[in-house]
Amino acid sequence: MDTTLKDPLVGQLLDGRYRVEARIAVGGMATVYRAVDTRLDRVLALKVMHPALAVDATFVERFIREAKSVARLDHPNVVGMFDQGADGAYVYLAMEYVAGCTLRDVLRERGALRPRAALDILEPVLAALGAAHRAGFVHRDMKPENVLIGDDGRVKVADFGLVRAVGTETSSTGTILGTVSYLAPEQIEHGTTDTRSDVYACGVVLYEMLTGAKPHSGETPAQVLYQHLNDGVPAPSEVVPGLAAALDELVASATARTPDARPHDAVALLRQVRESRAALSDQQLDTVPPQALDSEAGQRPASGSEDRTNVIPRALPAAGVNRTSRLEMPAPPEPQRPPGRRNRRAGRGLIASVVAVLLVLGVGAGVWYINSGQFTRVPSLLGQTEKTAKSRLTAAGLDVKKTKRAYSDAFERGTVMDSDPASGARIRDHDAVTLVVSRGPEMVKIPDVAGEPLAEAKRDLAKAGLGAGMATREFSEEIDRGEVIRTDPVSGTERHADSAVALVVSKGAPVDVPDVTGESVDEATADLQKLRLKVRVATEQINSEQDAGDVAKQSPAEGAQAAEGDTVTLTVSKGPRMIDVPDVTGDNVDDAKKTLTDKGFKVHVKRPFLSFSDTVESQSVEGGDRAPEGGTITITTKGL
């Protein structure tokens, strides 16, 4: 029965943007849907919190924290975060959609994996967690359900819903938050987590990939928790004879019961994994594990309570109380490991098994890593952006040899139009691929970007296959400040791809700058701000004829034209400079005027009634005294 028919969100438009198409999975906190972003016309995954939890501030905070944390992790092996929002009772995250399956799907149908395949999955997982750890985050819920394997072979880590910053409190006083099968001892006993807790979970996941079973099992979650506290993770070779000792050591190092004995973060574990891998032979990497694990032994159960993220009660530690009583769980009977498991598919052959799994599960290329040998296939690259294509090659263990560019009418600019070897071709591991990226059509039309903000216009030009040339600015009564008035050449003109297009950008309507010299700074600022001009006061003051504290000068000056939002710089006066006054008594009037003006004074000549003399008899400020520069000195001629 198709349960999506009963889901009220399927077929709805969430937040006026996201059209919900189908339900993908249901978890303890949220439901994940496949949806279409109608604004950008792309498929994405929509994680919607259960409405009953949306009223709980703690859960909403955790939900939003996931969005912010993942948004900071720009890593090819981390599921990308696009958006976060709410629509009524629905709080949602919009994320990258990865078409394929989870590691849990593969383990459930395939069982144990060859060591080469297990390490092929573990390495990108650790690369993703390493980026999170170095960014200061702890995942806290690593398990096969949160490892996505795309149809194109990409491996990505999902569900950072329990992420916390390193060094912050990571659980409430009386509960443990996580998935019981992957909890580290310190999470169970003390409720504390750090990067080493993620390392422990990765060690358990590696054990599960190598053996097809979890290291601890029980009838109740309490029994599993008890074993994590009291029993170490067994060596994988106990279940799969013939596994290399280096793999046993790798699992033992990652799952050490004491945190200090583990690698300190995922980056350190990744380094250890690569060193161990380099020491293994091809035969050891391609050891074929037994595939017929007895279902009646309970070693390969369907996903149940042990695979779900839970809030688990944890009693507080108390002096004199042993671990069993603190966790309020009985010690389970000593688990009896089944004798050597018989491979009931041995006669069918490996290839037949793989084909059967593909037919039943339909995971397609999601199980690409099961193949043996040192060859892989070039992932699907055509039509992908250059960045995505490089990420896919990296995830497939391949390098980019070089990137060529060519014109194409069929492929959008910036997308891969060809590769050498081509997509799907068989290629040696760690070999290199040449990408051919489209430059778009050879001749393109200049788009109409008039009225667009400058940054948006540049993006539209780039999308059309053109470059943004010099940007000049003009006043405009019609076009808002910062928006494009026109292009040069004009829109609609055809140009070669990658040609530069000049842009004319509006400075807004012109504003006549008023004269504010002589005003106080506050008065001048108010007058200029009324005209929507900004004001900056210069740090240095100058001597001037204006009173101290008033505006001595301005830039731009009176009468200049500025645009709304432009800045006028005001320079404040320290008052006039005091200078020595020369003695001009007895001098000819013209000579006296020249002497005083050369010193920086203004001169007023006063002649007594009926005086025809040109000789200075007196001056308003006596020679040798000081007067303000720019001030007026009055000279008086001799009378009758």
Active centre residues (catalytic): 141
Ramachandran region, residue 470 (left: φ > 0; alpha: ψ -120 to 50; beta: rest): beta
Structure tokens that stand for 333 in this block: 């009977």
**Contact call for residues 198 and 266 (beta carbons, < 8 A):** yes
Crossing angle (nearest 10°) for helices 350-361 and 103-110: 130
Sorted by sequence, the CB contacts under 8 Å of residue 347 that are 6+ apart come out as none
Residue 384 CA: distances (Å) to CA of 6, 83, 96, 220, 414: 35, 22, 15, 47, 8
Cα separation, 535 vs 533, in Å, equals 7
DSSP code string of 18-76? EEEEEEEEE-SSEEEEEEEETTTTEEEEEEEE-TTTTT-HHHHHHHHHHHHHHHT---T
Q: Which residue has the tokens 């399956």?
A: 101
546 in Cβ contact with 571 (< 8 Å): no
The dihedrals phi and psi of 72, each to the nearest 5 degrees, come to -80, -15
How many CB atoms sit inside 10 A of residue 434's CB?
Answer: 13
Separation between Cα atoms, residue 599 and residue 54, nearest integer Å: 81
CB distance 195 to 132 below 8 Å? no
Ramachandran assignment for 457, one of left (phi > 0), alpha (psi -120 to 50 degrees), beta (any other): alpha
d(CA 439, CA 415): 8
> Helices 195-211 and 266-279 meet at what angle, rounded to 10?
30
Residue 17's CB is within 10 A of a number of other CB atoms, namely 16
